[in-house]
């Protein structure tokens, strides 16, 4: 028999299970493969697949690693319901689509990992922070490969400037430097996810924390010090402290699917200045009483930080319009009116009609 409490089960999940509409056995998904899932129940581990009637009904609740589900046991278990998530890491699927992709579910803490070779990028980190805050997980920034960079403090200072309330640590999974800082997050039954680009050292860190029982890794490519992509699926592992940790495939790009709350929490300094503007509909382009421009001019707000906020804000607004047919139609109608007004104005200037 397996104690599901070791896999993150608690009274809240017990209550959700008792309210479930389907009958069956509670389980947690510990690994996902194309169309198949590895689950753990009180009876042990088993392979599972989604019930046929759910394949087109689940939508964004398609099962992922970390989900708690209701299954019907058998030679291959059948997932009949996904319990409401406590948290989730969601991004927009790459390419020209409005579809969303859930990276992991029911994650308590997310290690946002960037390496100090050529991967470090504060603008990308802001995207990750927005995703994590929006998904109701607690972010922790992990800067890896400090053994190959002697200027770690300068990178940490850059992170602190954009995320002053988020813990940030420099580590080396190779030498073990700084790993003691991660211990407070490795609590038995607590779920951690490692997220970042390919080659930042997610699998290497998990191997170290799991005493070598984690993921496979590969050597970095010659000449550029960048790691090769190794993880091809998402899987839960136990650390030495009996915490649960999820390895995720590296993200070549991170497009946000939604994030009003996440954006506000990531850019709370920017939001504070915006809220102080004299006019509620201030465009922050020189209007009298614009506190944003005043803060930029005085150096209290970095102009790159403001530009990054506006870029993500426009991206999220665009995604919202694309996923909302009514909003998209209204946007198109507005642009038609503006284009017509522009044409009439040009004709008037050219004297083509009175």
Residue 170, Cβ neighbours under 10 Å: how many?
21
Domain boundary among 184, 218, 247: 247
User: Are 122 and 74 part of one and the same domain?
Assistant: no
- Read off the pLDDT band of 97 (50, 70, 90): low
**What tokens appear for 266 in the block?**
């990531």
Domain assignment present for residue 327? The answer is yes
**What tokens appear for 326 in the block?**
């009514």
Domain assignment present for residue 253? The answer is no
Q: Which domain holds residue 172?
A: 88-247
Q: Which of 208, 317, 204 minimizes the C-alpha distance to 263?
A: 317
CATH code assigned at 63: 2.40.50.140
Give the tens place of pLDDT for each residue, 126-141: 999 999 999 999 999 9
User: Are 206 and 122 part of one and the same domain?
Assistant: yes
- Please state, in angstroms and rounded to a whole number, the distance separating the CA atoms of residues 192 and 114: 16
- Percent of the chain exceeding pLDDT 70 equals 79
User: Are 94 and 234 part of one and the same domain?
Assistant: yes
Domain assignment present for residue 254? The answer is no
User: Are 101 and 233 part of one and the same domain?
Assistant: yes
Domain assignment present for residue 252? The answer is no
User: Are 213 and 271 part of one and the same domain?
Assistant: no
How many structural domains is the chain composed of?
A: 3
As a whole number, mean pLDDT of residues 232-258 equals 80
User: Are 235 and 117 part of one and the same domain?
Assistant: yes
CATH code assigned at 138: 3.40.50.300
User: Are 148 and 212 part of one and the same domain?
Assistant: yes
- Please state, in angstroms and rounded to a whole number, the distance separating the CA atoms of residues 230 and 91: 21
User: Are 214 and 96 part of one and the same domain?
Assistant: yes
* CA distance readout (Å), 240 to 113, 187, 207, 211: 20, 10, 10, 7
* CA distance readout (Å), 269 to 10, 198, 264: 36, 30, 9
User: Are 74 and 94 part of one and the same domain?
Assistant: no
Domain assignment present for residue 264? The answer is yes
- Read off the pLDDT band of 216 (50, 70, 90): very low
- Read off the pLDDT band of 338 (50, 70, 90): very low
Domain assignment present for residue 153? The answer is yes
User: Are 12 and 68 part of one and the same domain?
Assistant: yes
User: Are 69 and 103 part of one and the same domain?
Assistant: no
- Please state, in angstroms and rounded to a whole number, the distance separating the CA atoms of residues 287 and 5: 57
H/E segment holding residue 46: strand 44-50
Domain assignment present for residue 305? The answer is yes
User: Are 201 and 330 part of one and the same domain?
Assistant: no
Domain boundary among 82, 114, 143: 82
Asked if residues 75 and 46 have their Cβ atoms less than 8 Å apart, the reply is no
- Please state, in angstroms and rounded to a whole number, the distance separating the CA atoms of residues 128 and 137: 11
Whose tokens are 């490519």? That residue is 221
Flag whether pLDDT at 219 surpasses 50: no
Domain boundary among 53, 82, 111: 82
Burial 289-323 (b: 16+ CB within 10 A, else e): ebbbbebbeeeebeeebbebbeebeebbeebbbee
CATH code assigned at 336: 1.10.40.50
As a whole number, mean pLDDT of residues 265-284 equals 92
- Please state, in angstroms and rounded to a whole number, the distance separating the CA atoms of residues 51 and 293: 55
**What tokens appear for 9 in the block?**
């089960």
Flag whether pLDDT at 330 surpasses 60: no
What pLDDT does 298 receive? Answer: 95
Task: Tell me how far apart the 2 most distant CA atoms of the chain are, in Å.
Answer: 87
Flag whether pLDDT at 17 surpasses 90: yes
Domain assignment present for residue 125? The answer is yes
């Amino acid at each position: 028999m397996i104690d599901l409490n070791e896999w993150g089960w608690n009274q809240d999940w017990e209550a959700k299970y008792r309210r479930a509409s389907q009958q069956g056995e509670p389980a947690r998904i510990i690994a996902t493969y194309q169309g198949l899932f590895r689950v753990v129940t009180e009876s042990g581990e088993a392979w599972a697949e989604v019930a046929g009637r759910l394949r087109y009904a689940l939508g964004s609740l398609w099962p992922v690693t970390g989900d708690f589900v209701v299954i019907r046991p058998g030679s291959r278990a059948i997932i009949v319901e996904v319990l409401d998530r406590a948290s989730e890491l969601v991004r927009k699927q790459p390419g020209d689509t409005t579809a969303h992709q859930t990276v992991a579910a029911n994650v308590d803490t997310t290690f946002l990992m960037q390496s100090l070779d050529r991967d470090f990028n504060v603008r990308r980190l802001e995207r990750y922070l927005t995703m994590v805050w929006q998904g109701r997980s607690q972010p922790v920034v992990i800067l890896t490969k400090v053994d190959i960079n002697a200027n770690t403090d300068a990178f940490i200072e850059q992170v602190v400037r954009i995320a002053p309330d988020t813990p940030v640590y420099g580590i080396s999974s190779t030498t073990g430097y700084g790993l003691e800082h991660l211990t407070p997050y490795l609590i038995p039954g607590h779920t951690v996810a490692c997220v970042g680009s390919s080659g930042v050292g997610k699998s290497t860190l998990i191997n170290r924390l799991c005493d070598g029982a984690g993921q496979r890794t590969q050597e970095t490519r010659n000449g550029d010090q960048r790691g090769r992509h190794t993880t091809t699926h998402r899987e839960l592992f136990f650390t030495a402290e009996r915490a649960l940790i999820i390895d995720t495939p590296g993200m070549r790009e991170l497009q946000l699917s939604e994030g009003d709350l996440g954006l506000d929490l990531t850019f709370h300094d920017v939001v504070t200045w915006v809220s102080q503007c004299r006019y509620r509909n201030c465009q922050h382009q020189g209007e009298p009483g614009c506190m944003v421009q005043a803060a930029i001019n005085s150096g209290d707000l970095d102009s790159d930080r403001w530009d990054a906020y506006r870029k993500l804000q426009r991206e999220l607004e665009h995604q919202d319009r694309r996923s909302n047919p009514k909003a998209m139609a209204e946007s198109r109608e507005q642009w038609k009116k503006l284009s017509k007004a522009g044409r009439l104005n040009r004709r008037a200037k050219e004297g083509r009609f009175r």
